[in-house]
């Protein structure tokens, strides 16, 4: 198993390294305009410089904080909302489609209104992130609970368990894979939303770095912002994956 | 096999839905250590009957008594096994078996000890830490049986537990069930539509009519115990199967016409 995982990791990084090397070559050979695409080595140099100056860690922590806060809120509201959609089927049928439609709509266009309501700061960023993450969490929780094989619940009833025991020890474990994929979707949407608003209004975070790079024709900073977003996304997905494997081996 | 007072008494049990009667005035008893099968044509309500006894489906009228005491919503001393795969995919075989004890608040050591005894009894050694998706259909059903038996039910209700398995696995698991029953003296009420299975396993076979389900006849299966599946080759086995089918034939035809309509 270890060697298979090792090979997977190797395959992943070899491919990425090859792409970056190709990009480096293309830029150095001046096959593309450096205003559009820059060399990974230059981005890395800019990153190093900004790490040493403390600018990049500060931006990183700001985005991490916004995403983390929005994700926490989205779970605190989304999980019980999903449960309520399942527990009260009329409510569930009435709102499921609406939520799906809302999920597909371009929330981000409402950012000026959020700025007015929450002020031009982290509050607005977290509120927008919360909304875009809460919906997939609620929807997936609802669908996961709804699609639990009824035979598992019958086992619980046959053992005369209390409803609370059935919910905690049968219903939620049975729905866990679906709920977890909702959490992954949620964190992805939150990240996109947080970085997009940071980009648009230039208040702190990785998104602002990309935005400034964009306006000042600083291509390295633009790509550094994107790379930062990718790293953040990898961290969250990795953490959720860890939570998932712990859930299924305990 | 009828020792003393019955463990389970079913009296005048009926189930009516708004547009039809599923179960009509059914009554029978099951005594300690007995293996009783209920057999009937498809759609005669035999699963409904079992679920009413288990308290999973409300009854319209009649009574279910466990050791002489009427029970309303099932009873702690009733265990039930279903036809569908019902073991929890997020728990290993061993953890599945510990489930009921865990819910009752048994300590970790105690439930592990009892589950390991059950692994031994069920011949599941080596599979303790497998997840259900790493087990065959027959193995999964063994785990389901073990999960119920670990609770030490007075009576085990089984709803076509081997119905989803192939014929050979079904016969082997039937033989296993008889061996386990012999070892722990388990009382079993078994629902099936398979005549061979009913005769192979039972002390008595309760034959139900086509819808609305009534008790049509009760046939004593006086094959020797302990029994192995080799009993299938005896002349007496063939005669008993014939006897059950004679009772069942007319009902099966009726049921066939009901569903063909």
- pLDDT tens per residue across span B201-214: 999 999 999 888 89
Residue B14: inside a domain, yes or no?
yes
Tens of pLDDT along A135-149?
A: 999 999 999 999 999
What is the number of domains present in chain B?
2
Residues A124 and A27 in one domain: no
Residues A224 and A118 in one domain: yes
Provide the shortest C-alpha distance from residue B88 to chain A (in Å): 7
Residues B22 and B52 in one domain: yes
Residue B1: inside a domain, yes or no?
no
Residue B82: inside a domain, yes or no?
no
Which residues of A fall within a CB distance of 8 Å from B80? 158
Tens of pLDDT along B178-198?
A: 999 999 999 999 999 999 999
- Work out the number of other CB atoms within 10 angstroms of the CB of residue B133: 7
Local confidence pLDDT in tens for the 250 residues of chain A? 557 888 888 888 999 999 999 999 998 998 888 888 888 998 999 999 999 998 899 999 999 999 999 999 999 999 999 999 999 999 888 898 898 888 888 888 888 899 999 988 899 999 999 999 999 999 999 999 999 999 999 999 999 899 999 999 999 999 999 999 999 999 999 999 999 999 888 888 888 888 888 888 888 888 998 898 888 888 888 888 888 777 655 4
Single out the residue in B115, B132, B152 at which a domain terminates: B152
| Domain of residue A134, CATH code | 1.10.3720.10
Residues B160 and B254 in one domain: yes
Residues A243 and A224 in one domain: yes
Element (H, E) at A197: helix A172-201
What is the number of domains present in chain A?
2
Residue B62: inside a domain, yes or no?
yes
Residues A58 and A89 in one domain: yes
Residue B239: inside a domain, yes or no?
yes
Q: Once rounded to an integer, what is the mean pLDDT over residues B245-254?
A: 90
Residues B139 and B189 in one domain: no
Res A37: pLDDT: 85
Using the predicted structure, report yes or no on whether residue B260 has a pLDDT greater than 80: no
Residues A184 and A74 in one domain: yes
Residues A24 and A133 in one domain: no
Residues A23 and A93 in one domain: no
Residues B121 and B234 in one domain: no
* Domain interval for residue B13: 6-77+155-260
- When scoring B91, B99, B132 by the number of chain A Cβ atoms within 10 A, the one with the most, hence best to mutate, is B99
- In this structure, chain A runs to a length of 250
Residue B245: inside a domain, yes or no?
yes
* Tokens encoding A174: 């049975």
Residues A113 and A19 in one domain: no
Residues A172 and A109 in one domain: yes
Residues B214 and B255 in one domain: yes
Residues B14 and B123 in one domain: no
pTM of the model: 0.83
Res A19: pLDDT: 92
Query: Comparing C-alpha atoms, which of A242, A231, A191 is closest to residue A16?
Result: A231
Tens of pLDDT along B211-235?
A: 888 999 999 999 988 888 889 999 9
Residues B170 and B144 in one domain: no
Q: Report chain B residues touching chain A, CB-CB < 8 A.
A: 54-56, 73-74, 76, 78-80, 82, 84-86, 88-91, 99-100, 102-103, 151
Provide the shortest C-alpha distance from residue A73 to chain B (in Å): 28
Single out the residue in B117, B152, B187 at which a domain terminates: B152
Q: Are B164 and B83 in contact (CB under 8 A)?
A: yes
Q: How far apart are CA B236 and CA B244, in angstroms?
A: 12
Which residues of B fall within a CB distance of 8 Å from A158? 54, 56, 74, 78-80
Residue B65: inside a domain, yes or no?
yes
Residues A27 and A65 in one domain: no
Residues A179 and A207 in one domain: yes
Residues B179 and B133 in one domain: no
B64 - beta bridge partners?
B10
**Greatest mean pLDDT among A115-124, B86-95, B166-175:** B86-95
Q: Once rounded to an integer, what is the mean pLDDT over residues B92-120?
A: 93
Q: How confident is the prediction for chain B on average, in pLDDT?
A: 91
Which residues of B fall within a CB distance of 8 Å from A155? 82, 86, 88
Q: Are B144 and B87 in contact (CB under 8 A)?
A: yes
| Domain of residue B10, CATH code | 3.40.50.300
Using the predicted structure, report yes or no on whether residue B1 has a pLDDT greater than 70: no
One-character DSSP codes across A147-167: TS-HHHHHHHHHTT--HHHHI
Res A209: pLDDT: 87
Residues B230 and B162 in one domain: yes
**SS3 at position A111:** helix
- Quick check: A2 contacting B, CB < 8 Å? no
Residues B195 and B71 in one domain: yes
Which residues of A fall within a CB distance of 8 Å from B56? 154, 157-158
Single out the residue in B152, B173, B196 at which a domain terminates: B152
Residues B190 and B248 in one domain: yes
Residue B18: inside a domain, yes or no?
yes
B103: Cβ contacts below 8 Å, ≥ 6 apart: A159, A161, A165, A169
Residues A204 and A100 in one domain: yes
* Domain interval for residue A222: 38-249
Phi, psi of B78 (to 5 degrees): -110, 125
Residues B143 and B217 in one domain: no
Res B261: pLDDT: 55
Going from the C-alpha of A70 to that of each of A65, A190, A199, the distances in angstroms are 8, 7, 17
B255: Cβ contacts below 8 Å, ≥ 6 apart: B41, B42, B43, B44, B210, B211
């Amino acid at each position: 198993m270890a060697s298979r995982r090792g090979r997977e990791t190797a395959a992943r990084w070899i491919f990425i390294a090859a792409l970056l090397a190709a990009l480096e070559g293309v830029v150095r050979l001046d096959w593309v305009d450096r205003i559009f695409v820059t060399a990974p080595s230059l981005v890395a140099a800019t990153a190093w410089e900004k790490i040493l100056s403390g600018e990049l860690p500060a931006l990183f922590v700001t985005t991490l904080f916004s995403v983390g806060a929005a994700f926490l809120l989205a779970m605190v509201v989304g999980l019980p909302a999903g449960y309520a959609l399942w527990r009260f089927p009329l409510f569930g049928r009435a709102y499921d489609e609406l939520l799906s439609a809302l999920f597909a709509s371009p929330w981000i266009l409402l950012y000026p209104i959020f700025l007015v309501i929450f002020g031009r700061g982290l509050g607005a960023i977290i509120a927008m992130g919360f909304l875009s993450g809460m919906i997939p969490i609620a929807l997936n929780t609802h669908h996961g609970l709804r699609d639990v094989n009824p035979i598992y619940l019958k086992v619980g009833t046959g053992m005369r368990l209390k409803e609370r025991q059935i919910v905690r020890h049968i219903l939620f474990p049975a729905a866990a894979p679906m709920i977890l994929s909702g959490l992954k979707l949620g964190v992805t949407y939150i990240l996109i939303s947080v970085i997009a608003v940071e980009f648009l209004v230039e208040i702190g975070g990785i998104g602002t770095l990309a935005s400034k790079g964009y306006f000042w024709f600083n291509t390295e900073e633009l790509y550094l912002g994107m790379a930062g977003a990718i790293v953040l996304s990898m961290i969250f997905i990795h953490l959720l994956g860890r939570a998932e494997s712990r859930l299924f081996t305990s | 096999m009828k020792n003393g007072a019955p463990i389970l008494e079913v009296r005048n049990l009926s189930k009516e839905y708004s547009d039809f009667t599923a179960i009509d005035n059914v009554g029978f008893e099951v005594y300690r250590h007995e293996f009783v099968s209920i057999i009937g044509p498809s759609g005669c309500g035999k699963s409904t009957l079992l679920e009413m006894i288990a308290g999973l489906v409300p009854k319209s009228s009649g009574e279910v008594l466990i050791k002489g005491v009427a029970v309303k919503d099932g009873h702690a001393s009733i265990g039930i096994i279903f036809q569908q795969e019902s073991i929890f995919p997020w728990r290993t075989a061993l953890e599945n078996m510990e489930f009921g004890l865990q819910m009752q608040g048994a300590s970790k050591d105690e439930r592990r000890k009892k589950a390991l005894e059950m692994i031994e009894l069920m011949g599941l050694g080596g599979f303790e830490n497998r997840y259900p998706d790493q087990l065959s259909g027959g193995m999964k059903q063994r785990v389901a049986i073990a999960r119920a038996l670990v609770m030490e039910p007075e009576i085990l209700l089984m709803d076509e537990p081997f119905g989803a398995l192939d014929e050979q696995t079904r016969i082997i698991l039937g033989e296993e069930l008889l061996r386990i029953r012999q070892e722990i003296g388990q009382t079993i009420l078994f629902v099936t539509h398979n005549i061979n299975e009913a005769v192979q396993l039972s002390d008595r076979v309760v034959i139900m009519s086509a819808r609305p389900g009534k008790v049509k006849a009760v046939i004593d299966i006086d094959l020797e115990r302990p029994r192995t599946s080799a009993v299938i080759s005896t002349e007496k086995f063939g005669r008993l199967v014939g006897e059950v089918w004679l009772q069942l034939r007319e009902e099966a035809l009726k049921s066939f016409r009901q569903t063909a309509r």
